[in-house]
Amino acid sequence: MKVAFVGLGNMGGGMAANLVKAGHAVNAFDLSPEALTRARDNGCATFTSAREAVVGVDAVVSMLPNGKIVASVFENDILGHAPTGTILLDCSTIDVGTSRSVTAAAVAAGYEMVDAPVSGGIAAANGGTLTFMVGGTDAAIARAQPILAAMGKAVIHAGASGAGQAAKICNNMLLGASMIATCETFAMAEKLGLDLQTFYDISSKASGQNWSMTSYCPVPGVGPTTPADNDYQGGFATALMLKDLKLAMEAASLVDADVPMGLRAAELYEKFDAAGKGGLDFSAIIQTLKD
């Protein structure tokens, strides 16, 4: 297939490269010259605008920073410029309302569209092992499946339009809260005099076991290799976790959901981000809990 890929940041760059590896012809666009250079090095054809990139394609994949940008790019550069009937896939993490309104506009203009936010981080984006949570009709998801499969290990139909975004923000609210709980537990274990590797060996096989501990341990030298072993560089930035938690708080407010742990996680990550730590992996919040 001929695929336009709009948004070649930390996640999108690797995703576009994996589409090329899978045999798709990729038209790539990003505002960053450096991102375009990397895309060319990975076998993509590059363009100076999204509008140019979507001409004559079979599919469009977007990976953009926020809902306002997604709405603008689709309204101004994709709808009416990509061939009618093109399958559209938005892999950005945005609010549910914007996702649904963009999809409605796309359908009205003669396109099929899915919202397909991802889980897995930069390493999974580069390695083609992302998990996609997808909202849309059965027909649209069937068309999107081969494109998503080229970039990930799992494609899960979450429900109708917007359900992918809803699943993503619920998942990341749980992740943010559980990471803080994991961090404070290791910080307390250390102050109680426990050897942290020994504590990991115990808790990872006991009822406290969780993904933040066993797959993404926030302690250097404990468990599998994680950003903690690289001074918390790479991985999933604190600023992005905060963005997702704010989306979760907005969604909770709209449906009157009681989320005290999610709210507290958002408050702690906001404080950590305000201290200039937004570029560090979100597990670096253990630094404040140890202090």
| Dihedral over alpha carbons 88, 238, 28, 62 (to 10 degrees) | 10
Hey, is 89 helix, strand or coil?
strand
Residue 56's H or E segment, with its range, is none
Measured CA to CA, the distance from residue 106 to residue 45 in angstroms comes to: 25
Measured CA to CA, the distance from residue 193 to residue 22 in angstroms comes to: 50
Q: Look up 168 and say whether it is catalytic.
A: yes
Catalytic one of 2, 68, 168, 205 = 168
In the DSSP assignment, the letter for residue 149 is: H
15-to-128, 138, 253 alpha-carbon distances in Å: 7, 23, 33
Phi/psi at 150 (5° precision):
-75, -15
Task: Give me the residues paired with residue 241 across strands.
Answer: none
Measured CA to CA, the distance from residue 130 to residue 42 in angstroms comes to: 19
- Please list the active-site residues: 168
